[in-house]
Amino acid sequence: MTGFAAKVIAWQKRHGRHDLPWQGTRDPYTIWIAEVMLQQTQVATVIPYYQRFLKRFPDVAALATADLDSVLAHWSSLGYYSRARNLHRAARIVVLEHGGRFPAEFTAVSALPGIGRSTAAAICVFAFGERRAILDGNVKRVFARHFAVGGYPGDKPVEARLWRRAERLLPKSGIGAYTQGLMDLGAGVCTRGQPECGRCPLRGSCRARQRGLTGKLPTPRPRKALPHRATTMLVLQHAGEILLEKRPAAGIWGGLWCFPEVTADEPVEQACRRRFGARVGAVAAMPAVEHGFTHFSLTIQPQRVRVSGLEARAGEPGTIWLSVDDAQSAAVPAPVKRILASL
């Protein structure tokens, strides 16, 4: 065992996290749910979602047989909704192709939708005791600092160097404590903004610390101007209910319920009558809502529309009238939930 791994394992056993709700189990289903939720989301945010999700979907069969709307509703406001859609697809694959038993082989795990190399490795380590390397964002930071690896870790050549390093450092035993220790160090000690080097078990051999590079490594993502988009959403209200429209599966908020969007060149009254058979009594602008995505920022301009009457016609496919309370508990994205809360 390398000195690096031995120090991480010893530190994790004394100072690491041991009481997270997904620890202390070998159940690959619950570990899988946790690892997917933890992709790009902090532990404190994940815990209540994880607990509610497992209460509703306690095993892979329950998740596979649920409708996607229910899955998305239990994911609402956690963000990166493709993770929830991939969980649902993967659960059905496990039932159909693996007899309802979560696969134990790394290649089969990594072939499931939404599971990359590092997530598959973490599942196999914690559920099956496999000796696999992980390399999530926190672990990249630990390696980049300790071994003074320059370059943005998201670039393929830099990432490949970090993977080679991760593979070489794997201990012969204690893989669970080692893997958890790397996660714990990255999340609580070797943090992005204010690393607590005095608490780090690797401080004596950390090259970034020795060279005064802790604040410069890992190399940040090259700055690019974030594109900005704007949209208008219609908050149609009639008889104590509001109208929601299901978004296409592809694109942002795929499969979630949102307020209808309109183009800037079509009058609100015309759009409401054409699309929903709604006669408009009054229209009033609500405060704009700002929302950030990884690759762009979005300004939503909600227009509150008082509907004076509805034409007798078949309901528009993919639309539903709900009370505000029911809408808030549906599968809606965070900015829509904020608008609902203001009604």
Return the structure tokens found at 180: 């958890």
| Cα 61 from Cα 204, distance rounded (Å) | 49
In Å, how far are 94, 269, 272 from 265, measured between CA atoms? 47, 12, 14
Residue 245 falls in the annotated catalytic set: no
- Three state DSSP letters for the chain: CCHHHHHHHHHHHHHCCCCCCCCCCCCHHHHHHHHHHCCCCCHHHHHHHHHHHHHHCCCHHHHHHCCHHHHHHHHCCCCCCHHHHHHHHHHHHHHHHCCCCCCCCHHHHHCCCCCCHHHHHHHHHHHHCCCCCCCCHHHHHHHHHHCCCCCCCCCHHHHHHHHHHHHHCCCCCCHHHHHHHHHHHHHHCCCCCCCCHHHCCCHHHCHHHHCCCCCCCCCCCCCCCCCEEEEEEEEEEECCEEEEEECCCCCCCCCCEECCEECCCCCHHHHHHHHHCEEEEEEEECCCEEEECCCCEEEEEEEEEEEEEECCCCCCCCEEEECHHHHHCCCCCHHHHHHHHCC
| Cα 6 from Cα 284, distance rounded (Å) | 64
| Cα 161 from Cα 180, distance rounded (Å) | 21
- The residues carrying an active-site annotation are 35
